[in-house]
Amino acid sequence: MNILDTLTLSWRQLKQRKSRSILTILAIAVGVTSIIALSSQVEGVQHEIIQSLETLGPENIMVTVGGRTLFTDADVVRLASLEDVAAVTPVINTNVEVFGLDEPVTLMGVSSLGLENVLGEIKLSTGALYTDVPAPQLVIGSKIAVNDLGETQFVVGQPIVIQAATTLNTMAVIGILDDYGSSLIFQPDNTILMPLAYMKTLMPRSGYTLIIVTAENPENIDQITEQIGYVFGDRASVTSIKQISNTVVTITSQINILLVGVVSISFIAAGLGTFNIMMISVLERIREIGILKAIGMKDRSVLTLYMSQGLFIGIFGSIMGLGLGTAAAFAIPLLLGGMGDFGPNSGSNAPSSQPSGMGPPGGMSFAYTPLISLQYVVVAVVASIIIALLSSAYPSWKAARMKPLDALRYE
C-alpha cells in the first residue's frame, strides 16, 4: 500500500467520526489561538512604546531631579561642557489649576528651540509656536483644547487664567498641538507649554526639573550617560531613550515567554484529548486492522495510517487556530478600549517633581495595534503538530503491533 493510499484511508477514517474529529481539532486550535492572540498584544504594545520613544530621539538623555534640589544654570553649563554633547535643553514644569478645567494640568516651560527635543516631531493643529521672549504665550495640548466629549474648551486667541502657586495669571493661547496620543513616557496632549523665560518670571525661586541632553552621535549615549552620573551622583536620575527602549524589549520578551509557558498547559490538555481519541479509534477498528494486516498490510503502513491521523489533526488544528487567533488578536483591543481609562489614579497627572508625562501616568487610554509575530506563529504551529503526533504515537504503535489472528478474534 503506497503512502497516498494510506493517507486517503486515514482521512476517510477521520471523516467517519466527524464530531469527534472536530472536537479534537478544536482542542488543538485553542492552544494556537491563545499563543497568537496573547503574543500579538504584547508585540503590539512593545511596538507602540518603542515608536513613541523614537519620536523623542534616540540621541536624547533625560536628566531628572533625584531629590529635592532642583537644577541650576550652573548645572546646565556643566552638562553643555561635556564631551560629545550637542545641546542641552532645560525644562521647568509644575502642576497648575486652570479656570474652566476640573482637574489640574501640567505647565511646562521650555525654549522654542528645545521644543523638538521635548516633543520629538512638532505637530500643530492650529495657531503658531511661541518665541523665546518673556511673554504670556501658550501652546496647549489637544485634550486641553477639546475634552473627551468632543466639546471645545479653548481656541487660539482665547485667554486662559492659570493659578500658579498663589497668583492668578491671564495668558493667551497662540497655538494648539495636534493629537499625539498617550505613551508611558510623555503626554503632550495634557500639557500647557510656555516660553522658559516667562516661566522663570512666574516661578523666580524655582530651578529646572528636567534637563534633556542631546548627544552628537547616538553611539556615544552610554559614555555620556556615565559621565552625567559622575557629575550629579545621587542628585539626579539619568535615563537615555536607548536604555528605556532596551528595557521595554527585554520586559515584553519575558512576558511573551511567560504567556507561551502558561498557554502550554492548554496544549497538554489537547494532547491528552488526542491520545484518548486515538486510543478509542484503535479499539473501534481492531477487527478492521486485523483484516488489513491479513491481506498484506505491513506494520509500518498501519503505523503510518494512524500517525497520519494525528498529523491531520495537528495541521487542521493549526489552521483553525491561526484564523481564530487572528480574529481574537484584533478583538481584544476593542474590548479593552470599551473599558475606558486604566491606571491606579485615572485622570491624575505626573507629580510636579517630574517632567510632564515623564514616568508612568496615572490613567490613560493606551491605543495600540496588535502585531502577529511570525516567530510565535511558527512556535504555535510546530507545537500543535508535535503534540498531535506525540499523542498519536502510542495508539499507532499499539495498532501496528497487533497480530492478525488476535485482531480478527477480538469481540
Confidence of residue 134 (pLDDT cuts 50, 70, 90): confident
pLDDT given for residue 408 in this prediction = 60
Q: Are 114 and 91 in contact (CB under 8 A)?
A: yes
**Mean of the per-residue pLDDT values of the chain:** 80
Which of 14-23, 254-263, 298-307, 402-411 is the most confident on average? Answer: 254-263
Average of per-residue pLDDT across 260-284: 78
pLDDT given for residue 245 in this prediction = 82
Interval 195-219: pLDDT, tens: 999 998 887 777 898 999 988 888 8
Considering only residues 248 and 52, tell me which one the structure prediction assigns the higher pLDDT. 248
Q: Which residues face 89 on adjacent strands?
A: 212
pLDDT given for residue 344 in this prediction = 37
Confidence of residue 57 (pLDDT cuts 50, 70, 90): confident
Average of per-residue pLDDT across 82-89: 88
Q: Give the dihedral sign, CA 298/301/303/306.
A: negative
Confidence of residue 394 (pLDDT cuts 50, 70, 90): confident
The set of cell numbers assigned to 321 is: 487556530
Percent of the chain scoring above 90 in pLDDT: 14
Interval 101-112: pLDDT, tens: 888 888 999 998
Task: Please return the burial class of 4, using the count of CB atoms within 10 Å of its CB with bins 0-12, 13-18 and 19+.
Answer: exposed
pLDDT given for residue 364 in this prediction = 42
pLDDT given for residue 20 in this prediction = 79
Interval 358-380: pLDDT, tens: 443 334 445 788 899 898 899 88
Average of per-residue pLDDT across 8-31: 81
pLDDT given for residue 167 in this prediction = 79
Q: Which residues face 162 on adjacent strands?
A: 98, 169
Considering only residues 274 and 191, tell me which one the structure prediction assigns the higher pLDDT. 191
Average of per-residue pLDDT across 44-56: 79
Q: Give the dihedral sign, CA 384/385/390/393.
A: positive
pLDDT given for residue 186 in this prediction = 63
Q: Taking the domains of the chain in order of start, what are their residue ranges?
A: 3-53+246-408, 59-243
Interval 151-197: pLDDT, tens: 888 999 889 998 876 778 889 999 999 987 765 456 888 899 999 99
Confidence of residue 354 (pLDDT cuts 50, 70, 90): very low
* Rounded distance between C-alpha atoms, residue 140 and residue 198, angstroms: 15
Task: Please return the burial class of 151, using the count of CB atoms within 10 Å of its CB with bins 0-12, 13-18 and 19+.
Answer: exposed
Considering only residues 356 and 389, tell me which one the structure prediction assigns the higher pLDDT. 389
Query: Is 126's pLDDT higher than 80?
Result: yes
